[in-house]
Structure 1
Amino acid sequence: MAPKVISAEANLILFCLSVTPYACFNLRYRDYFLYRAHPRNPSLDLLPHPYPNSFGDQEVALLSFDGDGDECSVAALTSRCDTMALEEDDTLNEMEFDLHLYRSSKAQEGWTSKVLSVAQPRRDIMCPVDRGLYHETTKVIVLGRGSLAMVGWVDLWHRILVCNVLQENPVLHDILLPPPARGNWALYHKCRPYIIRDVTVSLLKDSISTLRWKFAHRLLTLATLLRPMLTGFVKSLVNGSAECLV
């Protein structure tokens, strides 16, 4: 398995590597490395293995607490449904997650794990679905640095789960995303969400923007899917969400 970059922050790059082909089928065969770029003293460190825990690349956030990358953290959030965490009535608990955290300042402790709950779960009323999990992470965004180590785990169909990963007792806060553009309702939960929408963050403006691409036709061809990436034409910007017309 070739090295794969998972995240980059300041002068830090987090990537994974495996010397066995089994890593394609089981994430536990991966090793994680942290590279620090520096004009005179670059470094490459092997992180402790998170075993028995594992997580997908899209669930991992890298945070740097200073410009030199001397102190940093790696955080991952996984659903407890993946580990079959059952309620007392033997039903899946969709509102509990495992927060896995590695801190360079406490490297001797390795990875720590905490069970987190969603403080005030919010179901999508405008576009409800009766299938799939409550939250499936598509990407991760960093919303704060330093002592305000805020990370958002984004489900592009529904919500962002936000928490300060350095708090002693962190809590997940549920932020619902705007519904898909009306022209894309026929595609709701029928394609990869990043084909028609995305989320971006501006820490300078303290804002989160939702980008939504609206397709004019229900039958999509390869050219139709590639067109928004080639043109990047933004039609309008309303309440922090932009729509691209194809």
Structure 2
Amino acid sequence: MTPTEGSSMANRTALGDDQEEKIRTSRPMSWFPPHDPHDCGDPPPKSVVLDTLVYADDRTNASTAEGFTSNGDAIRLTFWPAHPPLISYFTVHLPTLLQDGSATSLLLLPRLVRADGDLALFRVIIGSSYIDRDHNNYIIYHAGVNKLEVLPTHPTRLFADPSVALLRCPDDGRFLVANLRSTCGLGQYALDLFDSRSGTWNTRSMRTEPPHEDCYYRTPTKVIALGGDRGSVGWVDLWNGILIGDLLPGGDGDDNNVLRFIRLPVLLAPNKMDPFFLTCDRDVSVGRDGSIKYSEVWTHPVPGSTYISEDWGAAILTWLESKKKWHIDLKLKASDIIVDETHSQLLPQHDVKATTKNATLSRLHTVHPTLSLHNDDVVYIMAKVYHMDYDLWMLAVDMRTERSGCSHQ
């Protein structure tokens, strides 16, 4: 899902020693941060849950990096970390950003497109049109480096954010930015690739493995960085499956122009309230060992209702490449989760019938599961009392111990 005028969908990623994918959060879009910066203390978080909106603020800290856009305007990006499940975010100081005051369109907000390790890729609009490629800058933020890097504009293309990949290579700071797009033929694609080593863009043809008819893939909703010697990346269509491509040449004459398709598992809950919202209920990420992980949440509605939640469940699956199948690692129901006393005080009181915190937890509307990348047993889940609320809670559910913490955002 992409951000809309009425909501901010923080679509998971992280910065630091590990990477945490971006988690989507629904709340009114604003030019200003959702909350004041938190004191992370010592040690800092290994990974974070990161908002994809970048907020207008001129405050700085030790993470602040500066640079200039392609049209010469000074820009400053600052990272404000918080321990999960609290949401971390970036702020931007760009003097021309609010030149029209309150009349400035929220669509002109910078976006965090992707993050990998200590790198983050931003799209910053520098003109009046967010659909003009010459008015969009892609900017690299490198944690620990106080200088921003503006990438050269692609000569012919403006990319959709969900199709753009960022891959940090484990060498001398080299990184790759890639965009995958379909062309006219069945199973035929084009890969636009920027290599920081050469500082240029190039395009090459890609194709899916035959039979092409088995590769039912529409458009990506996110991208995962698998890495490895070949620099593998996965373009994820959360309705259907994953296209995996190699950005770097392989050895022994391997063809790196072939895309491999992995179909996503059949939904674990056949009584989904609305299959249209699949991108809210499932996610794909990379585990600590480099394996592909799938997480899902689903609702058990009250009998006779399609809206009121009686209970909800969650599961984590792993793709077994050797067996070409998905394996269920962990699965639970909300009614089985234990909430410790400290965190139970943070949960909302759903209604007068919800006399226990377990009942309150079970009745919440849950979406956007996100696997923690420094603990494969922990899933972050966004929860609301009513699905249209702006008020939200972030749950940190340990699927193995069936315990949960939470924070009110």
Shared fold per TM-score greater than 0.5: yes
Asked if 1:9 corresponds to 2:119, the answer is no
Asked if the contact 1:10–1:67 (Cα under 8 Å) also holds between the matched residues in 2, the reply is no
1:229 aligns to what? 382
**Residues 182-218 of structure 1: CA deviation (Å, up to 9, x unaligned):** 3355633x23x2211111211x323222112121126
Distance 1:138 1:2, change over 3 A: same
1:62 aligns to what? 166
- CA–CA separation in structure 1 for the residues paired with 2:231 and 2:115: 16
2:239 aligns to what? 157
Aligned partner (choices 103, 119, 123) of residue 195 of structure 2: 103
2:141 aligns to what? 35
Following superposition, the deviation at residue 166 of structure 1 comes to: 1.4
Secondary structure of the structure 1 residue equivalent to 2:227: coil
Amino acid at match of 1:78: R
Distance 1:28 1:176, change over 3 A: farther
Following superposition, the deviation at residue 77 of structure 1 comes to: 0.9
Q: Which moved more, 1:5-14 or 1:151-160?
A: 5-14
Structure with max Cα Rg: 2
Secondary structure of the structure 2 residue equivalent to 1:58: helix
- CA–CA separation in structure 2 for the residues paired with 1:27 and 1:184: 43
RMSD: 2.8
Aligned partner (choices 294, 297, 300) of residue 216 of structure 1: 300
- CA–CA separation in structure 1 for the residues paired with 2:157 and 2:308: 40
Asked if 1:119 corresponds to 2:209, the answer is yes
Following superposition, the deviation at residue 27 of structure 1 comes to: 5.3
More helix by proportion, 1 or 2? 1
1:127 aligns to what? none
Distance 1:10 1:31, change over 3 A: same
Amino acid at match of 2:180: L
Secondary structure of the structure 2 residue equivalent to 1:43: coil
Following superposition, the deviation at residue 224 of structure 1 comes to: 2.3
Asked if the contact 1:135–1:159 (Cα under 8 Å) also holds between the matched residues in 2, the reply is no
Asked if the contact 2:246–2:256 (Cα under 8 Å) also holds between the matched residues in 1, the reply is no
Distance 1:26 1:180, change over 3 A: farther
2:179 aligns to what? 76
Following superposition, the deviation at residue 104 of structure 1 comes to: 0.7
- CA–CA separation in structure 2 for the residues paired with 1:184 and 1:106: 51
Following superposition, the deviation at residue 152 of structure 1 comes to: 0.4
Following superposition, the deviation at residue 43 of structure 1 comes to: 2.2
- CA–CA separation in structure 1 for the residues paired with 2:293 and 2:213: 20
- CA–CA separation in structure 2 for the residues paired with 1:50 and 1:144: 23
**Structure 2, gaps ≥5 residues long:** 1-107, 250-254, 310-363, 369-380, 384-394, 401-409
1:241 aligns to what? none
Distance 1:37 1:210, change over 3 A: closer
TM-score by length of 1: 0.73
Distance 1:34 1:178, change over 3 A: same
Following superposition, the deviation at residue 66 of structure 1 comes to: 2.8
- CA–CA separation in structure 1 for the residues paired with 2:208 and 2:118: 32
1:205 aligns to what? 289
What are the residue-to-residue correspondences of 1:185-200 with 2, within 5 Å?
A: 185=272, 187-188=274-275, 190-191=276-277, 193-200=278-285
2:346 aligns to what? none
Identity of aligned residues (%): 28
**Residues 71-101 of structure 1: CA deviation (Å, up to 9, x unaligned):** 1111111222xxxx2xxxxxxx341111110
Distance 1:117 1:67, change over 3 A: closer
2:323 aligns to what? none
Following superposition, the deviation at residue 181 of structure 1 comes to: 2.2
- CA–CA separation in structure 1 for the residues paired with 2:240 and 2:271: 14
Distance 1:13 1:235, change over 3 A: closer
Asked if the contact 2:273–2:306 (Cα under 8 Å) also holds between the matched residues in 1, the reply is no
- CA–CA separation in structure 1 for the residues paired with 2:171 and 2:308: 45
Amino acid at match of 1:166: L
**Residues 198-243 of structure 1: CA deviation (Å, up to 9, x unaligned):** 11211x323222112121126236952469523455778xxxxxxx
Asked if the contact 1:73–1:104 (Cα under 8 Å) also holds between the matched residues in 2, the reply is yes
**Residues 117-144 of structure 1: CA deviation (Å, up to 9, x unaligned):** 10133638xxxxxxxx732101101112
Kindly tell me the number of residue pairs found equivalent between the two proteins. Answer: 207
Amino acid at match of 2:223: V
Distance 1:233 1:71, change over 3 A: closer
Q: Which moved more, 1:172-181 or 1:204-213?
A: 204-213
- CA–CA separation in structure 2 for the residues paired with 1:152 and 1:76: 11
